[in-house]
């Protein structure tokens, strides 16, 4: 058995620990490799330029990193399942991790709802592009159609901003894990008068009083680094459990920061001891995202996703342009319209390319959590 003193040189790695068997040596390498891979993934994520932070492409890389960490962590638990099963304090630590991960399922559902909401905004932007198509002459009628779509867009985005702060929103009924067609039909009939009400009725999957901020607090509740005697008692396995818990909390928080969802409070206290190699890039990313949320133009946004900011900017430019136009359009104004429509087209292309793959990744995170939880229960049952 390793002594507590042998671990006190570093909370993170086991390189300084005297190894008394080949099994211990291979396990040590396995755990060190996990820490190394987590660090590399988040160093790459933290090296992103400020303009690309919280873009769809960056969020997809973040989810890729989480999925890779999930799989590597699953393999570690599987390789040491005999030790995990009914061996305190390890069984308690693993159980606590699974409880945290199950609480992340609601966040996955809420993020999926947010993705669906962005899709509806994308459809309204496509109406604007179609109305102001440069292949035919643009008159007042086309601009009226574009303006109507922009008004609907503004209403939809304002509605989400209000739900971010109040949480008073219609009951949500769709989940990765269930399909409530009856509820969907009921909501459909009640919301025919409002396109956004109808869209929302098809997507919301968490209860009307659900709060992303409270859920994040619940996921991160009582998360503290393992003590030296716990590291000794678990032969080092307490370290990857703590690491994976922190990564899960951070990724869920970053998703809530980026994507529209109910009661998006970002005030989660996130503190990790600097002894962990991956702590520096994760804490740096947390600080950068918090700073982004404090910028004047982002303070009241319904999501910090780069593409949401671009939607808001494009809508504002076209609205201001529409208010200053006289028909027929002068050559200069026509060029301004063309440029604005191109900007909207670029945003739509980014959404087309990024939303579906991102939703598939969130779905995969959801199902991996469910599978890992089931495997964990099975292991404990056999033990």
pLDDT of residue 223: 95
The dihedral through the CA atoms of 133, 137, 142, 147 has a sign that is positive
pLDDT of residue 164: 62
Mean pLDDT of the region 93-102: 95
From 69, 102, 58, select the one nearest 255 (Cα to Cα): 58
Confidence bin at 10 (pLDDT 50/70/90): very low
pLDDT of residue 7: 38
pLDDT of residue 212: 95
| 179 φ/ψ angles, rounded to the nearest 5 degrees | -140, 105
pLDDT of residue 45: 98
Q: Would you say residue 161 has pLDDT above 80?
A: no
Confidence bin at 13 (pLDDT 50/70/90): very low
Instruction: Give the percent of the chain with pLDDT over 70.
Output: 79
Mean pLDDT of the chain: 83
Mean pLDDT of the region 292-299: 90
Q: Would you say residue 213 has pLDDT above 70?
A: yes
Mean pLDDT of the region 351-372: 96
- Compute the distance between CA of residue 129 and CA of residue 337 in angstroms, rounded to an integer: 10
- Compute the distance between CA of residue 44 and CA of residue 34 in angstroms, rounded to an integer: 16
Q: Would you say residue 14 has pLDDT above 50?
A: no
Confidence bin at 264 (pLDDT 50/70/90): confident
- Compute the distance between CA of residue 373 and CA of residue 97 in angstroms, rounded to an integer: 9
What lies within 8 Å, CB to CB, of 343 at 6+ separation is: 310, 313, 314, 317
Digit-coded pLDDT (tens) for 49-70: 999 999 999 999 999 999 999 9
Structure tokens at 365: 């995170």
Mean pLDDT of the region 333-361: 94
- Compute the distance between CA of residue 123 and CA of residue 202 in angstroms, rounded to an integer: 15
pTM: 0.84
Quote the Cα angle for 38-8-89, to 5°: 70
Digit-coded pLDDT (tens) for 172-200: 344 555 444 444 344 433 433 344 443 33
Q: H or E stretch including 178?
A: strand 178-179
pLDDT of residue 176: 55
Q: What is the DSSP string of 276-331?
A: STTHHHHHHHHHHHHHHHHSTTTTT-S---HHHHHHHHHHHHHHHHHHT--SSPPH
Structure tokens at 80: 């040491």
pLDDT of residue 186: 41
Digit-coded pLDDT (tens) for 217-237: 999 999 999 999 999 999 999
- Look at 43-47, 247-251, 320-324 and tell me which has the smallest mean pLDDT: 320-324
pLDDT of residue 20: 39
DSSP lists the bridge partners of residue 178 as 175
């Amino acid at each position: 058995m390793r002594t507590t003193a042998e671990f006190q040189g570093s909370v993170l790695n086991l390189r300084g620990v005297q190894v008394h068997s080949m099994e211990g040596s291979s396990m040590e390498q396995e755990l060190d490799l996990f820490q190394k891979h987590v660090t590399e993934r988040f160093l790459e994520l933290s090296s992103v330029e400020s303009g690309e932070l919280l873009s769809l492409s960056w969020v997809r890389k973040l989810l890729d990193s989480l999925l890779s960490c999930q799989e590597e962590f699953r393999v570690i638990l599987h390789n040491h399942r005999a030790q995990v099963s009914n061996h305190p304090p390890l069984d308690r630590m693993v159980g606590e991790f699974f409880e945290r991960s199950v609480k992340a399922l609601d966040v996955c559902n809420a993020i999926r709802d947010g993705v669906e909401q962005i899709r509806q905004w994308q459809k309204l932007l496509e109406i604007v592009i179609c109305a102001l198509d440069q292949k035919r002459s643009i008159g007042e009628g086309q601009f009226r159609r574009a303006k109507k779509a922009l008004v609907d867009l503004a209403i939809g985005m304002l509605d989400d901003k209000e739900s971010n702060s109040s949480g008073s929103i219609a009951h949500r009924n769709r989940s990765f894990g269930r399909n409530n067609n009856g509820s969907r039909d009921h909501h459909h009939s009640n919301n025919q008068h409002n396109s956004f009400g109808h869209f929302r009725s098809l997507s919301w999957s968490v209860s009307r009083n659900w709060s992303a901020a409270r859920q994040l607090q619940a996921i991160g509740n009582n998360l503290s680094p393992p003590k030296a005697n716990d590291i000794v008692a678990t032969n080092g396995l307490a370290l990857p459990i703590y690491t994976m818990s922190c990564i899960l909390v951070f990724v869920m928080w970053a998703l809530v920061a980026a994507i529209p969802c109910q009661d998006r409070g970002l005030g989660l206290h996130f503190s990790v001891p600097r002894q962990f190699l991956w702590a520096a890039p994760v804490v740096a990313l947390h600080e950068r995202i918090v700073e982004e949320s404090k910028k004047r133009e982002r303070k009241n946004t319904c999501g910090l996703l780069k593409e949401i900011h671009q939607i808001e900017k494009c809508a504002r430019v076209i609205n201001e342009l529409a208010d200053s136009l006289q028909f027929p359009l002068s050559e200069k104004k026509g060029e301004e319209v063309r440029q604005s429509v191109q900007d909207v087209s670029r945003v739509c292309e980014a959404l087309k390319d990024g939303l579906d793959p991102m939703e598939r990744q969130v779905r995969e995170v959801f199902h991996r959590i469910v599978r890992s939880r089931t495997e964990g229960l099975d292991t404990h049952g056999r033990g």
